[in-house]
Each structure stands twice: as C-alpha cells, then as structure tokens.
Structure 1
Amino acid sequence: MSGTARAAIVMSASGAVEVREYALPEPGPGEFLLEVELCGMCGTDAHIYRGRLASIRFPALLGHEIVGRLAALGEGVTTDHAGEAVRVGDRVGVFPSLSCGRCYECTVRRRPGSCPERRPSYGFASPADRPPYLTGGFASHLHASNAGTVFYRTDLPPQTAVLQEPLSVALHGVERAGVRIGSAVVVQGVGAIGLMAVVAARAAGAARVVAVGGPPARLALARALGADEVVGLGRADDPAARRRAVLDALGTGRPADAVIGTAGSPESFVEAVGLVGDGGVLAELGNFTDRGAVPFNPYSDLLKRDLTIAGVYGAGPDMQRRYHSALALLERAGPPFDQLVSHRLPLAKARQALEALGGGYSLDGRDIVKLAIDPAA
C-alpha cells in the first residue's frame, strides 16, 4: 500500500521514545491492516518500559489494548471471529495473543498460551528495528500479520471498545476466583483492571463488592461501576488498619469469599492473603512482571486456612471466549464505561505517559484513571 505509518518506539529501558515512520504494508492472505483509533496503556507497558520483562528486547513497540478501523483486508478476511461480516472502515477490537488454533494445546487443553507455535502477542514483539514492523498499538497502524488474529467488529465508541482486553483479563480473574451468586468480593487495586474486576464480579453475581485503592477519581468510578463500598489508601494507611476497614466495609465482620488482587506489588499480595476468609480464593492478577519475592508460610498462610491461590496470567485459557464476553458486557447499557479513559495522548507523548503510569497517579494536573494513546491526536 502507498503511504506511511508512524509508531512510538521505546529505544531502551527507561530511555527515549522515538516516533518513527514505516511504509504501509500490503496485507497478505488472512491478514489485515488496522488504522489504530485508540490503544490503552496498561501497567504492564510501564513495567516493560522500565525493563522488568526479560523477554522484551529494545527497541520495542508496545501497546496491546487495540481498537481501530479496518484499513485493508487480505484475501479471505470476510468475517470477524463471531462470524459477522466485515469490510474496510469497520471498527474492530483486536485481541493481542496469537496461537495456531489447531494444536493439542489450543483445541484439547484450551490453553492457547501454551501453543508451541505461539507467536509474540501484539505489543510484545521485539525488537522493532527489523521486520515484522507495526506489531504494537502505539502506532497509527497495526499490521495483523497472523492469519489467526482474533478480532471482533463493534459499534462501540473507541473509548469504550478499548476496554475489551482489560475486561477479558478481569473475567479470567473472577472465574478463577470462583465468584458466584451471593459471594462477598474484595477487589484490591482500582486501576483499569481493578475497575473491570468490579464489573466482572457484579456480572458473576457477587452480593457485596468492596474496592480498595486510590486515588479518589478511581474510587468514585469503582462505585459507579458497581462497588458497594470503597476503602481509600489514605483512609487506612497501614495494612492492619486497612484490613479492619475492609472487614467493616464488607458488613459481615468476616473476610471475603474471594479477593481479586490487581494492585501489582509483592507486598500487596501478602496483604491480599489476609483479606481472604478461610476456605476462600485469592486470584492474583497484578504481579504480571517480576517485582521480587516476599515471605510466605505454606502452613499458616495456606494449608491451615484451606485457601486457594490462583495465578491469573492475562485472559488465560479460553481467552477468545472471554474476549467476546467482554464485548457483550461493554455493549450493555448502564455502567459509565466511557468515563474510564481519562487521558488521550498523542504518539509524541508516549514516554510522558509511560513515566506517569509507573510513577504516580496524575498527569496534566488530573488524576489518571486510564491512559490511552490516540495516534490522531
């Protein structure tokens, strides 16, 4: 195709981010070219920027929460993965993970993340100084160069459709936590994944949802999205006081049936263990990169209390189903999903966004709820 694409390339860990130009590729059979409208910035992106994911080599093109309009379709691309017809100009959400869809791991075990032919997910392919290019969402275009790329057409506005990937992760966490009708749930952390976990817990039938975290703008959104009560970090600034505040918020005097941990630090994981009732489940989503180790007693912290600790890695097994379920939830009227994206930043400000996401809760004088890169800004 004629024309050029622009992409924000992270040159080194905690280093410069350069906006580079690339020739637009012609999509081959089963491929497509997407004009990116919005790409959410995840906490994982901030960790990668700081060099905390060993599999990523720099320079790198990040961004895996991708929504945009189809710019060109390769031979054979006529429908999305729900069987709905698509054409150039349609808005679609692109699921980042790539697998063959045919092997034992994909079809029998339903664990595409273990696929032996699995390629790096969009936003995780590196380095960016050699082909294939345009493999991440912090760019004006995405080249979906894998014929198995999962995508779904949607009429949602971009600021809502961009939540499809984080909500699919939250759905995985809620399923792993065994949340069901009547459950008392604590969501630890109210970043984008935590806020989506509030939505997912409510959808699963939780009778009581308490969200723990900060800053105030995020806590207010947690309430709007379905949390019965919120516990701000400023309200209880040490773990013991915070635990008492959470138990009070649950209203039963007992710990939670399930805790969804999204705060993303080893210390928060230890704290989450203390919020789960005996026989309950802790589903840990937040520690997606290696942040270090913490003391843990298998007897007193696990066996004696008959706890289940579930590791939640992305959207997990059956991720295509969760991605589609996430879209169905987002399309339901009611929750103020369109308020989650608090900042839309151009490619030239990608570094500023990455630094702000990893180092504080505000940017341009406003609380960060959800950052997104808008290539057209």
Structure 2
Amino acid sequence: MLLKALLLFLHEQFGECGRPKVGWQIDPFGHSREQASLFAQMGFDGLFFGRADYEDIQARNRTKTKEMVWKGSEQSWLFTGILPNRYSAPNSFCFDFSCGDQPIMDDNRLYDQNVQERVQAFLQAARDEAAGYATNHIIMTFGDDFNFENADEYFKNLDKLIKYVNAQQANGSNVNVFYSTPSCYLYALNKADRSWKSKTDDFFPYAHHPHGFWTGYFSSRAAFKRYERHANNILQVTRHLNAFANTNARNTLFPLSEAMGVAQHHDAVSGTEKQEVAFDYAQRLSEGIQAAEGIINQAYAKLLPKDSQSPPIQFQYLCQLSNISQCLGIEGQERVRKLLSFCN
C-alpha cells in the first residue's frame, strides 16, 4: 500500500519520467526473494538495501559478492546490492549538528586545521569499502536517522571533502568522489560489463550479531497487526464499491489509503515503534475507516435500490469497538434494524 501510494503520487506530480527504476530499502529487517521478483516484474532495474545478516556480509566481503543478480520467482531476476554502511556515513564523517565528528577545517590560520588528516581518513575509508566490492565503483552513503536537520552545514562539509579528496589525484590518488544517485551508480556497474554471482533464496532471518536475531517482530504487537489487516479489508472493499457505484469519492478515501501506507512502514506493522507512535498509527487507521464508512453508504444508496418503490437504505455502521461489545453509531437509538453484511 505504501509503495502504491507513493508511485501514484510520483505519477501525478511528474508523469512517466517520475517512475522510479531502482529500489532503495535501506532499513527493513530482512528481505524476501518475492520482493525481488515483484520489483523485476514492475520494471525496476535494480535494488539496493542496507541490512543483511552479519555473517552473510562477512562472507560476501571476503568474496567481493555484495552485489549480485537476485533470482526471484517467475523467472524474474533483479540486480541487487548490499550497501556498505547500511545508510550511515563512514565512521567519523557525520557532519550534522547532532554528531560529534569534526567538521572540515580548512582555514590555514587555525591551529587545528585538519584537511590532510580528514582526507587521509576518508581515503582509507574508501579503500576499506572497496575491498568488499568487485568493480572500481563504490557507493558511499551519508546521513542517518534525523540527519540533515542542518543540511547547509552538512553539504558545506561534503563540498569541502569532495574538493580536497579529488585534489589528491595530482599526487597519484585513484579516488574520484562526486555526488550521485542509485540510478547512476547502477548504470556504472552495468557499463563495467562483467558477470555477477547469483542468489536464489531470501535474506531472512536477519541478525546483526550472534545474539541479535530480528525475528520477534513477526509476532509482536499482534493486535495492531490484526487491525492493519482489518483496515486493509475495509480499504479494498470501499475501493471496489467506489468504482462500481461511480461515487468519485477517491479524495474521501485518501485518509485511509494514506494511513494504510504509513502502517506498512517497516517500523509500523513490524511493531518496532514506540508505544506513543503505535497509538498514532491506530488512530489514523480508525479515522480512515470512519471516512470510508460514508463512501460505503453512498455506494449502497446507488447500488441497492431496485426501483423507485424500494424503501430507504438503512445507514451501515462499521462498529470498530465490537471487541468490547460497543457500537457507537447505534447507541441511543430506540429501534435498530440489525443487518449483518459480509463481503468476500
């Protein structure tokens, strides 16, 4: 749902040229081969992700196989790469104000001018990273959670870093640094014209150390997982009714579509969020379902009457508190005609 909502937004804002061709999954806790299959069938050219099992990464570093052809089902193959540092900057090169790393100080009047030290540290970081990859192209991420809150400071330091690192080419350095995108990086790898190792199974389960397996989230927050599934049922039924009845209520349905997209974030339905955030997700789903209720009744009013003599259609309520035997929509009414509606 999240991907669908985002793709729809990009298409509406930018047209066909805004359609992404590269998957970028930097934080989900493991990856299914079916994801590779789906991306390939959607016309994606590649996928890059940040998290893989620590032992898998160690083995791939030794064999330079962190980039591969992932063979999904339905003969759907997708070029896939594991990012070198999840989605964080190399060690000691975080330039946000929340970081404790030194900025690039290039004023020669400063006693703690550090250009040479920072350049050499970066060159070493680049060499260390390149050791795990098969070509002379590497991708280096900068940023992290809550980074770029001071984007001006961050980019000023990146500009300096690029300038001084590239200046070392005059001294024999073979490192060339520039701003780029996943698509451009993938294009460069394609132009390398080499064969790649393949993979046919999942990147599950995920562990980041011997006692840190990320598997509890498959069953944590069971109530929210069920509620997210229930909300999706309501969303799909309402979409069909909206189409069949031609009620043109897509904008009214947007809150539920948006809430469903957010609820499928890797830190939402997984249950890895804080409790206050889980409450917010549930509230947004609840408000979205309430908005969908109106569309359902509009559609029923159009679809159910058979002729002008048909009795008025009773308002349909989605009783969201039925688990505690409460239905706010019908409370206080003297006469209630009960109608159970099932939709498959």
Q: Tell me the TM-score range normalised by the shorter chain.
A: under 0.3
Which structure's CA Rg is the greater one?
A: 2
Larger strand percent: 1
Normalising by structure 2, we get a TM-score of: 0.27
Normalising by structure 1, we get a TM-score of: 0.25
Larger helix percent: 2
